[in-house]
Amino acid sequence: MGNEKNSIESTVHNTDSYLQSLMLTNPLQEPIFRRAIHALNLPQGSRGLDVGCGIGLQALLLAEAVGPGGHVTGVDLSPEFLVYARSIAEKAGISEQVSFQEGDMNNLPFDDATFDWVWSANCAGYAPGEPMPLLMELARVVKPGGSVIIIAWSSQQLLPGYPVLEAHLNATSSGIAPFVEGTAPELHFPRMAGWFRRAGMEEVTVRTFTGDVCTPLSEEMRSALAALIEMRWVDVGAELSEGDWAEFQRLCLAESPEFILDIPDYYAFYTYSMFRGRVRG
């Protein structure tokens, strides 16, 4: 019983910590998602599905894009995230335009051809495994002529002046996550256009959106970057050389007197790549 309690407390702590990280890093992500959603030109009044909606931040942006006559359904495996998502929607005053329910993206709880489009951010297709069944499941719930849209983080430069250290960090298990060493090249996220075509979709397009930040940093942006750096490279010590580990601790820990965000000429950029395919009629 004691171990079970510790496990539950750990899960709650991890969930709360992750929720906090999502909120802290949102100022970095929201401008990019707004631009990406604007580029989609989603039909006014359309009905869409946000797969892996998390705490609902993108569902709100999507609902805003389709207007008061439209509707967005968010689906996620985590009931804790969904509680938070409903709270955010209620506070934003758009509870009637969005709804959230628990569900697995590999077995969506919806009938065929239910939605005009499906969106997934940092979730669908962004993990090891066979992508075809997943993409076909997403396409299944979209009406003929509708879109499947997948967008995810694709690159970053967060340590200006230290490209070798950042390259080494990105080569760690944490740095290449959610991929793993030995994954087949064709299963890597940037190869997704081929997945869409093999899943039978047409008019496949790809666009990459860039965000950047530079000094002077607002307190909000500094907190967002610090949270991002903390999330980006987790438990990397065992995979780094002694010198790289020392540099990582010196530059990437917020409590360090030489924290990278404190340099007067700090600049960083990061990208999200968006894939879109049309479901055949």
* Cβ neighbours for 13, distance < 8 A, ≥ 6 positions apart: none
Q: In sequence order, which ranges of 117-241 are alpha helices (DSSP H)?
A: 131-140, 163-170, 173-176, 192-198, 219-232
Judge contact between 39 and 75, C-beta under 8 A.
Answer: no
- What pLDDT, on the 0 to 100 scale, is given for residue 50? 98
Distance CA(239)–CA(222), nearest Å, equals 27
- What pLDDT, on the 0 to 100 scale, is given for residue 266? 98
* Cβ neighbours for 196, distance < 8 A, ≥ 6 positions apart: 135, 148, 204, 275, 277
Q: What H or E segment, with its residue span, contains residue 29?
A: helix 2-40
- What pLDDT, on the 0 to 100 scale, is given for residue 187? 87
At 267, give phi and psi (nearest 5°). Answer: -145, 140
- Read off the pTM: 0.91
Distance CA(73)–CA(197), nearest Å, equals 26
Q: Write out the two tokens for 242.
A: 């002694």
- What pLDDT, on the 0 to 100 scale, is given for residue 1? 35
Judge contact between 252 and 227, C-beta under 8 A.
Answer: no
The distance between the two most distant Cα atoms of the chain, rounded to a whole number of Å, is: 59
When computed from its CA atoms, the radius of gyration of the chain, rounded to whole angstroms, is: 20
- What pLDDT, on the 0 to 100 scale, is given for residue 233? 95
158: which DSSP letter? -
Cis peptide before 216 (omega within 30 of 0): yes
Judge contact between 248 and 165, C-beta under 8 A.
Answer: yes
- What pLDDT, on the 0 to 100 scale, is given for residue 177? 85
* Cβ neighbours for 30, distance < 8 A, ≥ 6 positions apart: 57, 61
- What pLDDT, on the 0 to 100 scale, is given for residue 7? 31
Q: Write out the two tokens for 10.
A: 């750990």
| CB-side neighbour CA atoms (13 Å) of 160 | 15
- What pLDDT, on the 0 to 100 scale, is given for residue 180? 82
- What pLDDT, on the 0 to 100 scale, is given for residue 126? 79
- What pLDDT, on the 0 to 100 scale, is given for residue 8? 28
pLDDT tens for the chain, 281 residues long, are 333 333 323 333 467 787 888 899 999 999 999 999 999 999 999 999 999 999 999 999 999 999 999 999 999 999 999 999 999 999 999 999 999 999 999 999 999 999 999 999 998 887 767 889 999 999 999 999 999 999 999 999 999 999 999 999 999 999 998 888 888 888 889 999 999 999 999 999 999 999 999 999 999 999 999 999 999 999 999 999 999 999 999 999 999 999 999 999 999 999 999 999 999 98
Pairing of strands 71-76, 98-102: parallel
